[in-house]
Structure 1
Amino acid sequence: MADILIAGGGIGGLAAALGLARRGHQVTVLERRDVFTEVGAGIQLGPNAFHALDLLGVGREVRERAVLIDELRFMDGITGERVAALPVTGKYRARFGNPYAVVHRVDLYLPLLEAARRSPGIELLGGCHVVAYEQWVGGVTAVLADGRRRTGDALIGADGLHSAVRRQLVGDGPPRISGHTIYRSVIPVEEVPEDLRGNTVVLWAGPKWHFVHYPVTGGRYFNLAATRDDGATQALAGVPAEHGHVRDSFPGLPGPARRVLELGRDWKSWVLCDRDPVDRWTEGRVALLGDAAHPMLQYAAQGACQALEDAVLLSVLLDGPEADFVQRLEKYNAARRERTARVQLVAREMGRVLYHAAGEARVERNAMLAALSDEDMYDKAAWLHGAYDFAWGDGN
């Protein structure tokens, strides 16, 4: 079996390490930070994520930390009226084979990290910032920021939105700044009025803004995420924001949503970024994965899900002789690029058409959503939430 290097020890990088180690490879994860950790707040996991997590051997652990959602609820952020709701229990779980859940990022990351630490085939190295690579017919070398070098049979760039591996492989410049700022806060659930709790993802959609809230960490905390299309031009990540600024940025929130927003504290802000889809993620023995390959906006709630799918398919396709790696990485690229490009573009469109519609477009959106039956909505979600066919690299 092969020695495989992974640049980046985030969700995608650790998932790839687990998948590859389960196929018998020796894997070295090179993480830029000194300590393997995860920051952020809540994220949503569709059934396709759990299909991948099960194949990686950590599905049970993530389910134990997650909140399994009963309903996705869409509210008009101007009138406060309930526009539509999608039940994600009985018929939904039967159709897609897994639940829809929400977790704090740490509650997805830690099961992956703990499994990686238990694996004799995985070496986790912190303080190893990959800035470039060199390759030849028989191998590849990861060049670190401090001048050290690590050599292996393949290199997987899972180093995120600002990937150095992508910069060398694709060379498409900095990420695209969406102009949307998101403010995030996590608060103890006991501070939330009982009538506003529940295993529900609630989205309040207004003109050029939206607000989402749901429980995380097994229901012990409540995740708040408020987003404005404010024309932001500078990419920021995790910057503290004053409570008064967040409150004043959403003056039109209806009463119940306003009550939840007012509870937020220790707000952090991010400016959302993505990239245009590209056809080529591979160069010889080097390939990209997750946000390094296909960073996407939050509106389809699929960023982590698609990285997990990448990791499983990559491990399936690299289950074989090291001599075939170049062709196998090309097959991985070909199998994943159409699906992930579609998710990237759909996420952008959802932000424009569903989340931030204004005026007559808002009225038309509400009418369209209200007219859909549960089965209609399941049909629309099937291409995305259905179990991905890792044997063939094609969705159901």
Structure 2
Amino acid sequence: MTETTRILIAGGGIGGLAAALGLTARGHRVTVLERREEFTELGAGIQLAPNAFHALDRLGVGRRVRDRAVFIEELQFMDAVSGESVVRMPLTGEYRERFGNPYAVVHRGDLYQPLLNACRAADGIELLPGRSVAWYEQTAAEVTAVTEGGERFTGAALIGADGIRSAVRRQLVGDGEPRVSGHTIYRSVIPMSLVPEELRWNRVTLWAGPGWHFVHYPIGGGEFLNLAATRDDGATEAVVGLPVEHSHVLDEFPGLSDSARRLLELGGEWKTWVLCDRDPVDVWTDGRVALLGDAAHPMLQYAAQGACMALEDAVVLGELLEGDGRDVARDMAQRLEKYTARRRDRTARTQLVAREIGSRLYHAAGQAARARNTLLSSFSEQELHDRVKWLHGSHDLTEGVGS
């Protein structure tokens, strides 16, 4: 008779729930410890490249996410000052055929809810809100997660999926507070009915300006427009979701071309964040403990891959912990080390690419911006697809350096 193991997950966000599904599919029992008083996900839009759908399909929720998604036709790069369309990368036809899945955008809740529903329907998953993991203790045979309230939960492994300020990472890596990027982002979601017909594009559009950029795309089945405007303002302190005046947002983005300005002016109930990430690290494991998602490799949003990488982690972790529970429990440390080895290079490359394009590509000014536009406009459709193949086209979810 095959035995099952109990695996603990700290964090009930996208990565934590995805990991729970991946592990339960291999016959394990999973306890998810979530710090919030209910399982919910805050935020607005998320972009899902084909690699995310490869992962979602293997987790069994791909169809349910597709039902809520908006399938995007193009990625469009605009010069925000001149209003010039610099380059467009088509995402239908050859792109879908080559990479095996579409490119889509969803409201964050439209990704989270299918994962949560699937976890609630699974016999082997226990969802416990109001349990914030503070630290862990372990022996050769088991690991115990201790909550801030003093509750103790013991299992064969602990997966830290508790975000960029992970308590599990603090103990495992000990690298202090996240790195403040110096970039401030302003976010708003507005009804599509407020958007002029001529600006209702089925594209992810990025307007690049000197020291700032502005992104927008449809979400919620096309009923809403997601607006995200980022300024390289040298911010030094983390800010999370603070309300900000509409006039302040407009003042932060001078020189916008007419169309971009019209869209930015539509925003309302703006909130602001100062973006943070961390440097890549080589070690994600400590015996029976491993990190996943933002706890392992938090990244800036500029490659649109944060959620995608967490989903990939969940799939690879589940596949490496497949087998009889006794064997898995005995070999847990070695299996977790293998998980890190398979994911480390790919996620590190994505972290560094996100930093690079956010600072040098999107925010160039003057001659550097003109040179960027000339280079980007020279690429053919195939060349554009070639450049994202390692990221969007990965099926084994481990491709990174050298791809």
Q: Which bracket does the TM-score occupy, shorter chain normalised?
A: over 0.9
Q: What is the CA-CA distance between 1:199 and the residue it aligns to?
A: 1.2
Alignment check: 8 A CA contact 1:309 1:388 kept: no
Q: Secondary structure at the match of 1:368?
A: helix
CA distance in 2, matches of 1:93, 1:341: 26
Find the counterpart in structure 1 of residue 359 from structure 2.
Answer: 352
Deviations 1:134-157 (A, max 9, x none): 000100000100111111110000
Is 1:121 aligned to 2:128, yes or no? Answer: no
CA distance in 2, matches of 1:217, 1:110: 13
| Amino acid in the other structure paired with 2:18 | A
CA distance in 1, matches of 2:19, 2:255: 43
- Identical aligned pairs, as a percentage? 69
Is 1:335 aligned to 2:338, yes or no? Answer: no
Find the counterpart in structure 1 of residue 386 from structure 2.
Answer: 379
Match of 1:364 among 363, 367, 371: 371
Is 1:172 aligned to 2:179, yes or no? Answer: no
CA distance in 1, matches of 2:235, 2:50: 33
Match of 1:316 among 309, 316, 319: 319
| Amino acid in the other structure paired with 2:263 | V
| Amino acid in the other structure paired with 1:350 | I
CA distance in 2, matches of 1:134, 1:352: 40
Find the counterpart in structure 1 of residue 101 from structure 2.
Answer: 98
Find the counterpart in structure 2 of residue 325 from structure 1.
Answer: 332
CA RMSD of aligned residues (A): 0.9
Match of 2:265 among 254, 262, 267: 262
Q: What is the CA-CA distance between 1:359 and the residue it aligns to?
A: 1.3
Aligned length: 394
Q: What is the CA-CA distance between 1:387 and the residue it aligns to?
A: 2.9
Alignment check: 8 A CA contact 1:159 1:291 kept: yes
Find the counterpart in structure 2 of residue 143 from structure 1.
Answer: 146
Find the counterpart in structure 1 of residue 112 from structure 2.
Answer: 109
| Amino acid in the other structure paired with 2:177 | P
Alignment check: 8 A CA contact 1:67 1:218 kept: yes
Is 1:388 aligned to 2:400, yes or no? Answer: no
Q: What is the CA-CA distance between 1:184 and the residue it aligns to?
A: 0.5
Q: Secondary structure at the match of 2:331?
A: helix
CA distance in 2, matches of 1:104, 1:112: 13
Match of 2:305 among 302, 307, 319: 302
Find the counterpart in structure 1 of residue 8 from structure 2.
Answer: 5
| Amino acid in the other structure paired with 1:385 | H
Deviations 1:69-122 (A, max 9, x none): 001100001100000000000000000000011111111000000000000010
Find the counterpart in structure 2 of residue 288 from structure 1.
Answer: 291
Alignment check: 8 A CA contact 1:353 1:365 kept: no
Alignment check: 8 A CA contact 2:390 2:399 kept: no
Is 1:183 aligned to 2:190, yes or no? Answer: no
* Structure 2 stretches lacking a partner, 5+ long: none
Q: How does 1:40-119 map to 2 (within 5 A)?
A: 40-119=43-122
Return closer, same or farther for 1:379/1:224 CA change in 2, 3 Å cut-off.
same
Deviations 1:156-201 (A, max 9, x none): 0000000000000000010000000000000111110111112111
Match of 1:208 among 208, 211, 215: 211
Q: What is the CA-CA distance between 1:394 and the residue it aligns to?
A: 4.2
CA distance in 2, matches of 1:252, 1:166: 42
Shift >3 Å, 4+ stretches: 393-396
CA distance in 2, matches of 1:197, 1:348: 29
**TM-score normalized with structure 2 length:** 0.97
Alignment check: 8 A CA contact 1:202 1:212 kept: yes
| Amino acid in the other structure paired with 1:328 | R
| Amino acid in the other structure paired with 1:325 | M
CA distance in 2, matches of 1:389, 1:90: 22
CA distance in 2, matches of 1:199, 1:23: 38
**TM-score normalized with structure 1 length:** 0.98
CA distance in 2, matches of 1:351, 1:245: 22
CA distance in 2, matches of 1:229, 1:257: 18
Q: What is the CA-CA distance between 1:325 and the residue it aligns to?
A: 0.9
CA distance in 2, matches of 1:72, 1:235: 29
CA distance in 1, matches of 2:243, 2:294: 23
Find the counterpart in structure 2 of residue 271 from structure 1.
Answer: 274
Q: Secondary structure at the match of 2:20?
A: helix
Alignment check: 8 A CA contact 2:107 2:219 kept: yes
Q: Secondary structure at the match of 1:65?
A: coil
Q: Secondary structure at the match of 2:332?
A: helix
Q: Secondary structure at the match of 2:229?
A: strand
